[in-house]
Structure 1
Amino acid sequence: MAECPGVLHLAAMADGGLARLRVPGGSLSATQARVIAEAAARMGSGVIDLTNRANLQIRGLSLDAGPRLAAALFEIGLGADGPADRRRNILLDPFSGLDPAEVRDCRPLAQALDRALTQAGWIGALSPKFSFAIDGGSEAGIGAIASDVSATAVPEGVEVVFGTGAFAVTAAPEAAVSALLTIADSTARLGPDARARDLQVTATVDALCALPGVRTAPIAQRRSMSARYGAIPTRIADEAAVAVPVPVGRLDAPMLIWLADQAEAEGDGTLRLAPWSAVVLPGVARDRAAALLAGSEAVGFTPVAVAERLSVVACAGAPACERAREPAKALGAALLALAAEPGRLPASLAQVHLSACAKGCAGSSASDLLLLGASGRSGWSVHRGASPRAAQAACARLDDPNPAEILRLLAARG
């Protein structure tokens, strides 16, 4: 993978320039979504990827398209100029302010952090990979996603965990931004490739506890992330937040425009990006949710019943990546489409990971089936219960893969 891209700073890929649009907090207006879709179709290939950190990637751009793309996005309030373009990695629970089970609505925290990072004089020294996860304490469990720093709402304030995840402080809500900035600034001082795990723990905790409203605290019991699809009840009795599954995280321009149209016609006019390959439309009348989801299937989105039973993650694959021979995204989408046929779904929840080379892009956790391609030959090796960086001997070889064979192997798991 090329150096972390932004909007102004494109990465050269096999299918052209790649722009990564950071959407801190993950929320877009319908108008913003349409502009992104139209820019992707006009300047690129029309392909838009939703990443596992809830950002958007526009593919197939000319390598000099960055300034034109940035101008279009800046005009509608998206993106940031200068080094902040690639360093506003703020993941927020897409159900913030909606989930009745959450401890606190953390949207103000995410917005304040974004503003502070954009204005920070040291931002250019921070690694573009440095990331934050902000969790209001809802059922989604966003704080469980691996990040340099996670901030999770707890009754006493905000629990801030950094580095290896073994160290935490609790900040009063009004002190949380200062605590998060202190960790990022301290990391930036170590060098452009440093991450929070490189910090000297005692000194960092001392610096945090010197801030008003911050104290040491034991780490609360860790939660796991829970992907949520379909009509999710919200604080408003007759409304739902509808989470539409995106097949292997890949949208095209018409699909994003359809979501924008539905957000205006059926919801509150906004879209929220979820890190489990879904787009959430808040403010939908509960009695309209089923019709909206049925309409989503007609334009290429994955049925909720399939997404809830079968998770398929896939790297960019061919022809997007020069290391890949196999079209991972296309095979993953075909797998989900076949699984929607009667009798095809696995008996219990299952995950398939398609990585067209040994690098293992798209995910690091173990999957029920891991399919690895190779740069030097066609086909896939199949591994059971494996993660990309710890794959054991292959249990099968698929030289001419097809979705039916993958589902058969999945059904035979023991």
Structure 2
Amino acid sequence: MLAAMPPPVPSPTPAPGAPRVRERGDACPGALRLHSADDGHLARLRLPAGRLTARQVEVLADAAEALGDGRISVTSRGNAELRGLADGCGAELAPLLAEAGLLPSPTHERVRNIVASPASGLDGLGAADVQLWARELDERLCAAPWAAGLSGRFLFVLDDGRGDVTGLGGDVTLVAVAPDAAHLHMGGRAVRVAAADAPRAALAAARAFLSAARAAGTGAWRVRELPEGHQADVRDVRKALAAEEVPEAVLPQGPPPAPGPLGPAALHVLAPLGRLTAGRLRALLPADEVRLTPWRGAVVAGTDPARLPALEAHGLITRPDSPWAGVSACTGRPGCAKSLADVRADAVPGRPGLPVHYSGCERRCGHPHGDWVDVLAAPGGGYLVDGAPVPRTDLAPAVTTARTAPRTTR
């Protein structure tokens, strides 16, 4: 049964140099534990590797229309959010999700945070198809009773070697370095494991984190929150899997796939401001599968890239030179009581360049990783663009300058 969450109570801010102490579990919403917002309840569906079957696409679109506000928000982890849900919708939503395979484990549904290179196996790039790793890891995760103790913020990142998702701040990161080998990174250390062992190694690393967190007694949600002297040790994984430590392993860094074709039978599109209407989601079909991405878009596998003009006509972003590519925003008003502005209505793209994110308050919910332009609503109706005050009417030139000027000059 779905339940609304009470407003989160933040843990006290630690003194400089002191470890953060988490006095309670995280308040991340899920598919069964909803968040109450000004526009109704919010459900967050974890989609390992962002994957949706064609049937699940239809179910998600139907649920958005029948129970929510008719839209699906794509998160910075490639998950999906339904907003505007009414009180008492659990009798319909939970069975609907379960029947479609979107709720395989009620006890583990909030910890299925797995991001994988979305174009893996489709465009001929990458050292291995990490989408297959993601499916095995999800199965192992849901089958391990102890894994339900992970935070809803703990993140597994699976990169096929191109470096498109390594910068997303994974707690446990797997990188394919050859068709038969991977590097497992956690807490600044790395070990080399056989590709066949990669999902099992990632789960073992998560268990090592939980052991370290219990020993520290600080209630850490993420690996980076572990205090000095209580780091999670990948050497435990090395012993269990006969893995070899890699002292100087470096995470590869690469760009995300550009909107457009991905090989002969796949394509990549972006959702305007990170939200898909139910109609736009359905427009991605027919397809073998749809993979929501951390860049708030979708990779459509098993389809003809010649469909791109038709998808553009539906309002999706299909070209890398679109000024709206890389533009995102938080919920803003009227959905969020903390927001100072209707940031989605105020958002302007400027010219293509760095990613830009519009935030209604200093929490900056959903901001991208890496280098990005920060547009923050300010009291009185204006904005701060990378910290500089800008009237709302002057946002377009200010955002263009911020997106296109060398970072060293700002």
Common fold: TM-score over 0.5: yes
Match of 1:270 among 284, 289, 295: 289
Q: CA deviation at 1:66?
A: 3.5
Q: CA deviation at 1:357?
A: 0.7
Q: CA deviation at 1:54?
A: 0.4
Q: CA deviation at 1:382?
A: 2.3
Q: How does 1:124-135 map to 2 (within 5 A)?
A: 124-135=148-159
Match of 1:149 among 172, 186, 197: 172
Match of 1:216 among 245, 248, 254: 245
What is the alpha-carbon distance in structure 1 between the residues aligned to residue 147 and residue 302 of structure 2? 36
Aligned length: 374
Which residue is equivalent to 1:386? none
Q: Which runs of 5+ in 2 are unaligned?
A: 1-6, 9-26
Q: How does 1:7-406 map to 2 (within 5 A)?
A: 7-138=31-162, 141-155=164-178, 157-163=181-187, 166-189=188-211, 190-191=213-214, 193-197=220-224, 198=226, 204-234=233-263, 239-260=264-285, 264=286, 268-285=287-304, 289-290=305-306, 292-307=307-322, 310-332=325-347, 335-336=348-349, 345-346=351-352, 349-363=353-367, 365=369, 369-374=373-378, 377-383=380-386, 394-398=387-391, 400-401=392-393, 404-406=396-398
Instruction: Give the stretch that moved more between structures: 195-204 or 349-358.
Output: 195-204
Corresponding residue SS for 2:48: coil
What is the alpha-carbon distance in structure 1 between the residues aligned to residue 148 and residue 234 of structure 2? 24
Q: Report the residue type matching 1:381 in the other structure.
A: L
Q: CA deviation at 1:411?
A: 7.7
What is the alpha-carbon distance in structure 2 between the residues aligned to residue 173 and residue 367 of structure 1? 31
- Please report the TM-score for the alignment, with normalisation by the length of structure 2: 0.83
Q: CA deviation at 1:248?
A: 1.6
Which residue is equivalent to 1:4? 28
Q: Report the residue type matching 1:270 in the other structure.
A: E
What is the alpha-carbon distance in structure 1 between the residues aligned to residue 370 and residue 390 of structure 2? 19
Which residue is equivalent to 1:391? none
Q: Identical aligned pairs, as a percentage?
A: 31
Q: Report the residue type matching 1:214 in the other structure.
A: A
Are 1:187 and 1:194, in contact at CA under 8 Å, matched by a contact in 2?
no
| 1:189-238 deviation line (CA, Å, top 9, x unaligned) | 4255432232857772331121134221134333224122333343xxxx
What is the alpha-carbon distance in structure 1 between the residues aligned to residue 154 and residue 372 of structure 2? 29
What is the alpha-carbon distance in structure 2 between the residues aligned to residue 405 and residue 22 of structure 1? 37
What is the alpha-carbon distance in structure 1 between the residues aligned to residue 159 and residue 370 of structure 2? 24
| 1:260-307 deviation line (CA, Å, top 9, x unaligned) | 3xxx1xxx431111111221112334xxx24x2221222221241444
Corresponding residue SS for 2:33: coil
Are 1:161 and 1:167, in contact at CA under 8 Å, matched by a contact in 2?
yes
Q: CA deviation at 1:242?
A: 0.8
Q: CA deviation at 1:309?
A: 8.0
Q: Report the residue type matching 1:329 in the other structure.
A: R
Are 1:126 and 1:193, in contact at CA under 8 Å, matched by a contact in 2?
no
Q: Report the residue type matching 1:137 in the other structure.
A: G
- What RMSD in Å do the two structures reach over aligned CA positions? 2.5
Q: Report the residue type matching 2:241 in the other structure.
A: P
Instruction: Give the stretch that moved more between structures: 401-410 or 214-223.
Output: 401-410
Are 1:229 and 1:307, in contact at CA under 8 Å, matched by a contact in 2?
no
Q: Report the residue type matching 1:356 in the other structure.
A: G
Corresponding residue SS for 1:304: coil
Q: Report the residue type matching 1:142 in the other structure.
A: V
Is the alpha carbon distance of 1:89 and 1:369 closer, same or farther for their aligned partners in structure 2, counting shifts above 3 Å? closer
What is the alpha-carbon distance in structure 2 between the residues aligned to residue 303 and residue 257 of structure 1? 16
What is the alpha-carbon distance in structure 1 between the residues aligned to residue 90 and residue 176 of structure 2? 37
Is the alpha carbon distance of 1:55 and 1:219 closer, same or farther for their aligned partners in structure 2, counting shifts above 3 Å? farther
| 1:38-78 deviation line (CA, Å, top 9, x unaligned) | 10110111121001100000001124324521210110111
Are 1:152 and 1:158, in contact at CA under 8 Å, matched by a contact in 2?
yes
- Please report the TM-score for the alignment, with normalisation by the length of structure 1: 0.82
Is the alpha carbon distance of 1:365 and 1:401 closer, same or farther for their aligned partners in structure 2, counting shifts above 3 Å? farther
Q: CA deviation at 1:252?
A: 1.2
Is the alpha carbon distance of 1:230 and 1:359 closer, same or farther for their aligned partners in structure 2, counting shifts above 3 Å? closer
Q: CA deviation at 1:412?
A: 8.3
Are 2:159 and 2:166, in contact at CA under 8 Å, matched by a contact in 1?
yes
Q: Report the residue type matching 2:122 in the other structure.
A: L
Are 2:75 and 2:274, in contact at CA under 8 Å, matched by a contact in 1?
yes
Are 2:160 and 2:176, in contact at CA under 8 Å, matched by a contact in 1?
yes
What is the alpha-carbon distance in structure 1 between the residues aligned to residue 346 and residue 186 of structure 2? 37
